[in-house]
Amino acid sequence: MKILGIQGSPSASSRSGSLLALAQSRLQGVASNAHVITVRELPAQALLHAQFDHPLIRQALAEVAQAQVVLIATPIYKAAYSGLLKSFLDLLPQDALRGKTVLPLATGGSIAHLLALDYALKPVLSALGARDILDPVFATDAQITQHETLGYAPTPDVVARVDAALQILIDRAEEFERSEEAARERDGLLARLQPKTAAIADPKTWPARDVRWSV
């Protein structure tokens, strides 16, 4: 399972980033290729001028395309998600998130703008094709404490909420993988059946030797 994190805070030491780091560390062993796109490290001019052909932008877009699961971390800024995250989401092709399981992770100064994830972020994810958007994990600044070495560390109740969300995420992603496998098998079967079906559809193409009579 390929899991990608997108870190949308402009801050180098980031509370929402600590939620993402926690989720990524808990997923070790499940994820075949846990990687993070730190949007603030992408070239600013390429982001703001929408330079799709910049090698680092192309690489980031390819990583999104290859992921089955996307964790999106953002701070709440001005009652919405960060503008930095939006500058990256705007570069994604239409349907970039179709078929992927998406888990939003966010932090805010208080719970006052918790609904920003529902009215601001989810519609954008949905416009990008995401249909499997899990309930976000949101923490206030008071629930992310300063840590000597880690920068920030979520409190135990936040850790428990992240774990619960990840369990749902793993179950859903596995279920999705199984349904994709079944769809691939079905497509393969249909592809093998198609020549015969086409022949039956047009009786003029039936070779005489293939005609079987039954009485």
The rounded radius of gyration (Å) of the Cα atoms in the chain is: 23
Q: Which is nearer to ligand FMN, 124 or 170 (CB)?
A: 124
Q: Helix, strand or coil for residue 95?
A: coil
Q: Which of residues 129-148 bind ligand FMN (CB under 6 A)?
A: 141
Q: Does 24 bind ligand FMN (CB under 6 A)?
A: no
Q: Which is nearer to ligand FMN, 19 or 173 (CB)?
A: 19
Q: Does 110 bind ligand FMN (CB under 6 A)?
A: yes
- Is the Cα torsion angle 80, 123, 133, 38 positive or negative in sign? negative
Q: Does 14 bind ligand FMN (CB under 6 A)?
A: yes
Contact pick of 40, 86, 113, 161 for ligand FMN (by CB under 6 A): 113
Q: Show Cβ contacts of residue 176 under 8 Å, excluding neighbours closer than 6 positions.
A: 68, 99, 101, 132
- C-alpha to C-alpha distance for 23 and 162, rounded to whole angstroms: 7
Q: Does 204 bind ligand FMN (CB under 6 A)?
A: no
Question: Is residue 74 within 8 Å of 9, Cβ to Cβ?
Answer: yes
Contact pick of 78, 204, 209, 212 for ligand FMN (by CB under 6 A): 78
Q: Which is nearer to ligand FMN, 4 or 75 (CB)?
A: 75
Contact pick of 43, 55, 99, 109 for ligand FMN (by CB under 6 A): 109
Count the site residues for ligand FMN by CB under 6 A: 18
Q: Does 154 bind ligand FMN (CB under 6 A)?
A: no
For 130-145, letters b (16+ CB in 10 Å) and e give: bebbbebbbbbeebbe
- C-alpha to C-alpha distance for 178 and 107, rounded to whole angstroms: 33
Binding range to ligand FMN, per CB under 6 A, among 97-105, 110-118, 122-130, 196-204: 110-118
- Other C-beta atoms lying within 10 Å of the C-beta of residue 195: 9
Q: Which is nearer to ligand FMN, 78 or 204 (CB)?
A: 78
Positions in the binding site for ligand FMN (CB under 6 A): 9, 11, 14-17, 75-79, 107-110, 112-113, 141
